[in-house]
Chain A
């Protein structure tokens, strides 16, 4: 049962609900980025050739190397974006900042990422709910994050839930 006396929902969150934030753009993807990602996530096994072997990849229906669906082109930006999501602000009644955890996500994949692609992202707060859990009063925030490539094709749509307590 929720405790009506406590809320971690901020006015900033209410103002931001449903509004797309600014667009972030990742550096161009390279084949090395893709190969290293696949090697890390398959370690210690050799990753599939579609992620690193140009000649083999050309024979597949992808006609070239593609990135694993979970590849993150936004790692290692030279300039780090400032400020966090409105869902990540808020304080406990004792004034301490909330602790955050990744509650999970659902990703829908569109066009695969390839070397040379430049992916842009935008996000918005969808909704939230609060309840008393084993970590005490807990706020669940649902965010939508959309990735598109340089041709404005949908690459990935993520619905993620962050947990704040």
Chain B
């Protein structure tokens, strides 16, 4: 299913996109991004880096989840034009991360139908780990 520019309104919500994260997700991401950082792979290394709960997840993977949530919303006819975020909190093992978003603006610029959203990645406690924004282009 895909959406188009006319049917999206300011205030619309991005469909929630969730993952429970742990070594199964982190190790796969480490393998494709060649991101073998000890504190993402080993609990002792995570504690040495100051995280009492041990190893923790990659910011880049949360970023990928934002991109995936946008893609799944806009479909193959849409374009992810811009994504920005800040990494504010640690992704602990077994966190359930949920990408959320809300449409803040509709514009037509450079011949493109652009939708701007506020974006975040929440953990299971509702903690905001990754506030940011995105711009997608819709047909």
Contact = CB atoms under 8 A, between A and B. Distances in A.
Interface of A: 33, 36-37, 39-44, 48, 50, 60-62, 68-70, 72, 75-76, 101-109, 159, 161
A147 B68 CA distance: 21
Interface in B83-123: 83-87
Given A62-B76, A68-B64, A107-B84, A41 B29 contact: yes
B78 to A, nearest CB: 10
B54 interface: no
Nearest to B137: A109
Given A41-B65, A75-B34, A105 B85 contact: yes
B7 interface: no
Contacts of B28: 39-40, 43
Contact of A109 (B33, B59, B64, B82): B82
B20 to A, nearest CB: 9
A60 B79 CA distance: 12
Contacts of A72: 32-33
14 contacts: A39-B28, A48-B71, A61-B77, A68-B64, A68-B71, A69-B83, A72-B33, A75-B32, A75-B34, A102-B60, A103-B86, A103-B87, A104-B59, A107-B84
Interface residue range, chain B: 20 to 34
Contacts of B45: none
Interface of B: 24-25, 28-29, 31-35, 59-61, 63-65, 67-68, 71-72, 76-77, 79-87, 132
B25 to A, nearest CB: 6
B65 to A, nearest CB: 7
A36 B77 CA distance: 22
A106 B80 CA distance: 12
Given A75-B33, A106-B82, A43 B24 contact: yes
A11 B9 CA distance: 50
